[in-house]
A and B are shown apart, each in its own frame.
Chain A
Amino acid sequence: MNGTETESGAPKQQQTPRQAYRIIGKRPIRHDGYDKVTGRAQFGADVRPPETLYGAILRSPHAHARIIAIDTKAARALPGVKALVTARDLPRASGENPDLRHTRNNILAKAKVLYHGHALAAVAATSLHIAQEALTMIEVDYELLSPLLDVREFLKDDARQLGDDLRTDETSYNKQAATNITGHVQHKRGDPVQGFAEAAVIVEREFTTPNVHQGYLEPQSATAHYHPDGQLTIWCSNQSHFDVRSQVSEILQIPISDIRVVPMEIGGGFGGKYLVYLEPVAALLSKKSGCRPVKMIMSRADVFMGTGPAAGAYIRVKMGADARGLVTAAEAYLLYEAGAFPGSSVASGAGTLFAPYRIENLQIDGYGVLVNKPNTFDYRGSTAAIAVAAAEQVVDELSEKLQMDPLAFRALNGVKEGDCQPAGSAYPRIGYLETVEAARNHPHYTAPLEGPNRGRGVASAVFGSWDGGTSSAMARVNTDGTVDLAMGSIDLSGTRTSVAMQLAEALGIPVANVKPFVADTDSVDYTDGSYGSRTTVMTGWTAYELGRDLRNRLIQHAAKLWRVSSAEIAFADGYFSTGELRMTLKELAAHLEETGELVVSTATVSSKGLAPGSAVHIVDVEVDPETGKVDILRYTALQDVGKAIHPSYVEGQMQGAVAQGVGWALTEEYIYDDGGHLLNANFLDYRIPTCADLPMIETVILEVPNPAHPFGARGAGEIPILPPIAAIANAIYQAIGLRLGELPMSPRRVLDLLIEQDQEDDGYPESR
């Protein structure tokens, strides 16, 4: 087994001369580390204001039903119950952001319940057990409706309309008629018909995938305290506390300035924690219970049923290549489940699946479709993983038909700077070809794979074309020479440190002398949530700006103190100096307090270009031909990250994403019965990989600098979840000659195919 590539191994492939950084690229221990390993870190559920009440939510046992009546009398009368709310208690909305109309109907169902687990009432009581007992006393009359569960069903003429008032703004659909299509995204260029006509080899495949869950270990929680003067404080673990503030403000009709959202430590999110589920309900319960704080924590079943899992989908991909192996045309048709309300991740899938390839003739159509399942939400890479899984399996099959090495095929067709992105614009400098080349030369790829029923697969991805959003931070030089760094970005994985490193590098002080913390919504300027691989890159950029600004200001202060010009001051190795004069930052800072001249800086950085990352993964599997079980024997992930600010954290992102990808590929799925009831809303039957299911995950960091970023960093957190599914599928094919076309590639599905193959006994199945 190979160890994780260390810092010294990474820069070999680097394209530009390496700058000598003092801090960037090192591996300091995280600032919040001590609290995290001793149990002192305070997560959302750990908040305990005095007089706290406990809230619980009643959820629909049906997938689709009209609510006729809700009788809450008995529940209200239970001793200890202090408040009970239903959708009737939500204020009538004004103005109306349509997305928030749906969010409001999601947090408390209004007229209909649209999925098994849809919230419809909430209770606050003096203990959680009383609150839960009260829920059992609420009586709801339902008129049952038949559920719509498969994305393809919407095509049927008699398909039931889920959202009575939903219209699709798209030319091919009647804008006046109700529809289950929530959106259509299309990318089109060249002439695909002509392109396919020119192809020597064409592969077309279809794929179906179930819902999966982000599977963060920490359930959603929210504690709200509505004060008699109208001020509202919310403590929660959310990827975007500014989004919580604006969503609660609109839903409850409370001015933003009256709401303070305090971000607690957050136990994972992966894209699933930036919509509100509990926060407005807890606030409403607090208001109705005489302004006592109300704490609500989801059970694991609530998390599976009531939050936003990643979409299930139906995907069809067709690609053609000429005899030399050049892609002549590609088509994709993607149906992503939106779930019970509009808003799907299909745009990300549509924009990503062909991203690594130069394709002149192309048509991609993606649709979001309503079904009676939870409102789906993003999952690491905005659920593009399933689209990439489809395309990268088709590429593998094309390579095979062309008798080309699959990485040689990618090297031949791969994108570089100036090539066209699927959405149309040109790629900036990216490192896809470098990553492919590194994979081809990697000892894992060149090592022989021996033994029966074993196979090696590869897959690749290019991801991240958005510009990164807005980040704010504030820094203050303390009298002891340390720097407080208040940031608006939620820290999911150690970003306090990777951001602080960028300030420390720019200012020229040790990273331990930066004291980073995540500030509440009253204390720092607007910052987009911690999603889209943006925090280390964008908030780190903000910190870089702060570091430069503080450095300039400190130099000016030193100049003033010594009565020389700023140009005559040097700051190096912890000393300000001019001529014979020397002074530490600490000494200067002490002077500043005496003179009342504090050094404080704020910065906001907006949308300057994250730049896409590139990834190639190599995996060896062994399939037990008698049981259908797939074991991961060896895994190597290679990735162009631009610049690894803190290499351990980059490796961690890669390794964690691979583990999630392995689960998505092999064991994870929402299992529904025909009535739309979710059967496996627990960590026993929703099988995320355990420690015993995985080998060490080798990582290779490549650094092709992002020209737009001060340190060259690219977004790194999402892309490593894109290749694993296809890499594993391609490896399974190499091992046993079968392609499943369906996720997860669970032992049952593999075994079914093996038995079928055994019965037919006619070798490998034909591809269409």
Chain B
Amino acid sequence: MVYEMTVCSTVNGDQVELHCDARQSLLEVLRETLGLTGTKEGCNSGNCGACSVILDGVLVNACLVLAVEVEGRIVSTIEGIEQSQGLHPLQRAFLEHAALQCGFCTPGVIVAAKALLDHNPMPTEREVRYWLAGNLCRCTGYDKIVRAVLAAADLMDLSRAQVPMAAEWLPSQGRTDERDRN
């Protein structure tokens, strides 16, 4: 068919060659062609953030990117967040803070939060809330999500400073206030 193209790009560090219809979104190709189903479709129109991925270092909704646009580009999805030594601090913080219920928005939220911490390693509660406004969650009321992101920032800050992790750092209570006042 005339409307099909082959696209080469890097997805989670792997070179991939994709044969796709120009109509297909990056989201559809990630899920249906590559089987990377961690990226979710919640609205297919950029309003929910469940399909958040990082494209050349920029956080985007995969539903609003055509697959043919990613020729030569670098895509990171939730499946690529885990680090060689195990879960990313954000992933650990989400588990420890029970920051998920159904878990459907979770991959998108974690990808978005990673983009935040990459860009702003010590965000305030307000900064977290505005950054994550593009990621809808219907289960949690966002409370534990925000706490988990702040806790992950603390964890990463600690590991950067090479300070041994103290147990009391894990469930962050009250830290939000302190930082917001600054």
Q: Is the CB of B145 within 8 A of A38?
A: no
Of A32, A41, A217, A219, most B-chain CB atoms within 10 Å: A217
Docked CA distance A655–B101 (Å) = 11
Shortest distance from the beta carbon of A724 to any chain B beta carbon, whole Å: 10
Chain A residues lying within 8 Å of B106, measured Cβ to Cβ, are 36-37
Docked CA distance A348–B68 (Å) = 51
Q: A39-B79, A682-B47, A690-B132 are in contact. List 4 more A-B contacts (CB 8 A).
A: A129-B21, A216-B138, A649-B101, A691-B146
Known: A39-B77, A39-B78, A297-B41. A690 touches B133 (CB 8 A): yes
Q: Is the CB of B138 within 8 A of A37?
A: no
Other-chain residue from B37, B102, B128, B134 in contact with A42 (beta carbon distance below 8 A)? B37
Q: Is the CB of B95 within 8 A of A33?
A: yes
Chain B residues lying within 8 Å of A693, measured Cβ to Cβ, are 133
Question: Can you identify 21 A-B contacts, CB atoms within 8 angstroms?
Answer: A1-B125, A1-B177, A32-B103, A33-B95, A38-B78, A38-B87, A39-B38, A39-B79, A127-B21, A129-B23, A216-B138, A217-B105, A268-B139, A300-B43, A649-B101, A657-B141, A691-B129, A691-B142, A691-B146, A694-B142, A696-B143
Interface string of A3-45 (1 = CB under 8 A from B): 1101000000000000000000001011011101111111101
Q: Is the CB of B95 within 8 A of A493?
A: no
Interface residues on A, range: 35 or more
Chain A residues lying within 8 Å of B78, measured Cβ to Cβ, are 38-39
Q: Is the CB of A217 within 8 A of B104?
A: yes
Shortest distance from the beta carbon of B156 to any chain A beta carbon, whole Å: 16
Of B24, B28, B47, B130, most A-chain CB atoms within 10 Å: B47
Task: Give A683's nearest chain B residue, CB to CB.
Answer: B47
Say yes or no: is A265 at the interface (Cβ < 8 Å to chain B). yes
Shortest distance from the beta carbon of A237 to any chain B beta carbon, whole Å: 9
Docked CA distance A749–B82 (Å) = 47
Other-chain residue from B28, B43, B100 in contact with A683 (beta carbon distance below 8 A)? B43
Q: Is the CB of A494 within 8 A of B177?
A: no
Q: Is the CB of A682 within 8 A of B43?
A: yes
Interface string of B37-52 (1 = CB under 8 A from A): 1111111110110100
Known: A30-B98, A216-B138. A683 touches B176 (CB 8 A): no
Docked CA distance A696–B47 (Å) = 23
Chain B 161-182 interface residues, beta-carbon cutoff 8 Å to A: 171, 173-174, 176-177, 180
Interface residues on B, range: 35 or more
Q: Is the CB of B81 within 8 A of A38?
A: yes
Other-chain residue from A34, A48, A216 in contact with B102 (beta carbon distance below 8 A)? A216
Shortest distance from the beta carbon of B12 to any chain A beta carbon, whole Å: 10
Q: Is the CB of B77 within 8 A of A658?
A: no
Known: A4-B173, A38-B79. A267 touches B43 (CB 8 A): no
Say yes or no: is A736 at the interface (Cβ < 8 Å to chain B). no
Known: A266-B102, A697-B143. A39 touches B107 (CB 8 A): yes
Q: Is the CB of B95 within 8 A of A30?
A: yes
Q: Is the CB of A37 within 8 A of B142?
A: no
Task: Give A54's nearest chain B residue, CB to CB.
Answer: B32
Docked CA distance A6–B128 (Å) = 23
Say yes or no: is B67 at the interface (Cβ < 8 Å to chain A). no
Of A42, A46, A696, most B-chain CB atoms within 10 Å: A696
Docked CA distance A219–B136 (Å) = 13
Docked CA distance A690–B180 (Å) = 19
Q: Is the CB of B82 within 8 A of A38?
A: yes
Q: Is the CB of A691 within 8 A of B38?
A: no
Shortest distance from the beta carbon of A549 to any chain B beta carbon, whole Å: 30
Chain A residues lying within 8 Å of B23, measured Cβ to Cβ, are 129
Chain B 126-160 interface residues, beta-carbon cutoff 8 Å to A: 128-130, 132-147
Docked CA distance A199–B21 (Å) = 72
Docked CA distance A350–B161 (Å) = 59
What are the 6 closest A-B residue pairs judged by CB atoms, nearest first? A39-B38, A267-B104, A655-B141, A36-B103, A39-B78, A659-B141
Q: Which A residues lie at the B interface, using CB under 8 A?
A: 1, 3-4, 6, 27, 29-30, 32-34, 36-43, 45-46, 48, 127-129, 214-219, 265-268, 270, 297, 299-300, 492-494, 646, 648-649, 651-652, 655-660, 682-684, 688, 690-694, 696-697
Q: Is the CB of A656 within 8 A of B95?
A: no
Docked CA distance A29–B96 (Å) = 6
Chain B residues lying within 8 Å of A265, measured Cβ to Cβ, are 102-104
Shortest distance from the beta carbon of A269 to any chain B beta carbon, whole Å: 8
Other-chain residue from B43, B82, B133, B139 in contact with A493 (beta carbon distance below 8 A)? B139
Of B32, B39, B96, most A-chain CB atoms within 10 Å: B32
Chain B residues lying within 8 Å of A682, measured Cβ to Cβ, are 43, 45, 47
Docked CA distance A673–B64 (Å) = 29
Q: Is the CB of B173 within 8 A of A648?
A: no
Q: Is the CB of B146 within 8 A of A652?
A: no
Task: Give B48's nearest chain A residue, CB to CB.
Answer: A683
Docked CA distance A236–B24 (Å) = 24
Q: Is the CB of B38 within 8 A of A40?
A: yes
Other-chain residue from A37, A656, A684 in contact with B47 (beta carbon distance below 8 A)? A684
Known: A39-B37, A43-B40, A659-B141. A691 touches B132 (CB 8 A): yes
Chain A residues lying within 8 Å of B138, measured Cβ to Cβ, are 214-217, 268, 270, 656, 659-660, 688
Q: Is the CB of A683 within 8 A of B130?
A: no
Chain B residues lying within 8 Å of A129, measured Cβ to Cβ, are 21, 23-24
Chain A residues lying within 8 Å of B105, measured Cβ to Cβ, are 217, 267
Interface string of B1-26 (1 = CB under 8 A from A): 00000000000000000000101100
Q: Is the CB of A694 within 8 A of B130?
A: no
Q: Is the CB of A648 within 8 A of B144?
A: yes
Docked CA distance A41–B94 (Å) = 15
Docked CA distance A27–B139 (Å) = 18
Chain B residues lying within 8 Å of A36, measured Cβ to Cβ, are 100, 103, 106
Docked CA distance A17–B166 (Å) = 33
Chain B residues lying within 8 Å of A494, measured Cβ to Cβ, are 98, 101
Docked CA distance A651–B137 (Å) = 16
Chain B residues lying within 8 Å of A37, measured Cβ to Cβ, are 87, 91, 94-95, 100, 103, 106-107, 110
Shortest distance from the beta carbon of B101 to any chain A beta carbon, whole Å: 4
Known: A3-B173, A684-B47. A34 touches B87 (CB 8 A): yes
Chain A residues lying within 8 Å of B142, measured Cβ to Cβ, are 655, 659, 691, 694
Q: Is the CB of A45 within 8 A of B41?
A: yes
Of A6, A27, A300, most B-chain CB atoms within 10 Å: A300
Known: A30-B98, A39-B37, A652-B144. A696 touches B176 (CB 8 A): yes
Task: Give B32's nearest chain A residue, CB to CB.
Answer: A48
Q: Is the CB of A299 within 8 A of B129?
A: no
Known: A32-B103, A265-B103. A217 touches B143 (CB 8 A): no
Q: Is the CB of B101 within 8 A of A3?
A: no
Shortest distance from the beta carbon of A379 to any chain B beta carbon, whole Å: 11
Task: Give A661's nearest chain B residue, CB to CB.
Answer: B141
Docked CA distance A214–B133 (Å) = 19
Say yes or no: is B59 at the interface (Cβ < 8 Å to chain A). no
Shortest distance from the beta carbon of B83 to any chain A beta carbon, whole Å: 11
Other-chain residue from B21, B97, B137, B147 in contact with A217 (beta carbon distance below 8 A)? B137
Known: A38-B78, A218-B40, A300-B43. A656 touches B110 (CB 8 A): no
Docked CA distance A684–B40 (Å) = 18
Q: Is the CB of A27 within 8 A of B98?
A: yes
Shortest distance from the beta carbon of B66 to any chain A beta carbon, whole Å: 13
Docked CA distance A218–B125 (Å) = 27
Docked CA distance A219–B138 (Å) = 13
Q: Is the CB of B102 within 8 A of A648?
A: no
Other-chain residue from B40, B128, B140 in contact with A655 (beta carbon distance below 8 A)? B140
Shortest distance from the beta carbon of B79 to any chain A beta carbon, whole Å: 5
Chain B residues lying within 8 Å of A40, measured Cβ to Cβ, are 38, 79
Docked CA distance A634–B19 (Å) = 52
Chain B residues lying within 8 Å of A656, measured Cβ to Cβ, are 101, 138-141
Shortest distance from the beta carbon of A294 to any chain B beta carbon, whole Å: 14
Chain B 113-130 interface residues, beta-carbon cutoff 8 Å to A: 125, 128-130
Shortest distance from the beta carbon of B174 to any chain A beta carbon, whole Å: 5
Docked CA distance A127–B19 (Å) = 14
Docked CA distance A648–B81 (Å) = 25
Task: Give B80's nearest chain A residue, CB to CB.
Answer: A39
